Amino acid sequence: MGKSFIVFKDKGFWSHDSTLCVLLYLNVRRLNNGKDRDDWTQSVVKDWTFYYSAGFVGCIPIDLDKKLPDENYKRVIVDSLRTISKNLHQDSNYFPVEELHLNLVGGKGVTWLEVTNDFRNELIRISHMLIDLIEGRLDIDVSSKIDYLREKSISNSATDAQQCICVKRG
């Protein structure tokens, strides 16, 4: 899988597509379980479901500027990300691999082989970066050095299964 640039108010960061797809899926899962199913929630769920399941490579357009027009909407997503991060930290079975398959996370033809501790840690780290981005504390943009992106966290090789999540296309 590729990498996508997540942008909000002209700041942002790069993320592995597999990490972003799973975070979008987990946010959709939380929003679907919420009490409020207003038009905004339905729009976010519809769009982010398409984005995590369409099979985009290197260009997942999560549209934060459009999706988070005011503080109330920002708070909903930040609260969701905080809950997801906490649950990932506390529960190694927060989402089983089978759930990713059933919901076509990453697109049709993607096979999730394993979700490892390293990948869970990457999800937590990217969740925190998203929170910082949304709350205006992240001061990097597309031209910034990308030393925060860990190349070892994602692999297409089953031999690296102990260290990373393994994703296979096709």
Report pLDDT digits (tens) over 44-58: 999 999 999 998 888
CA 110 to CA 105: how far, in whole Å?
A: 8
Supply the pLDDT for residue 148. 60
Provide the residue count of the chain: 170
Q: Where are the alpha helices (DSSP H) in the chain?
A: 17-33, 39-53, 64-67, 71-90, 97-102, 117-134
Q: What is the pTM of this model?
A: 0.84
Q: What strand order describes the sheet that includes 154-155?
A: 110-114, 165-169, 154-155
Q: What is the pLDDT of residues 125-143, one digit of tens each?
A: 999 999 999 999 988 877 7
Domain membership of residue 128 as a residue range: 3-169
Total domain count, the chain: 1
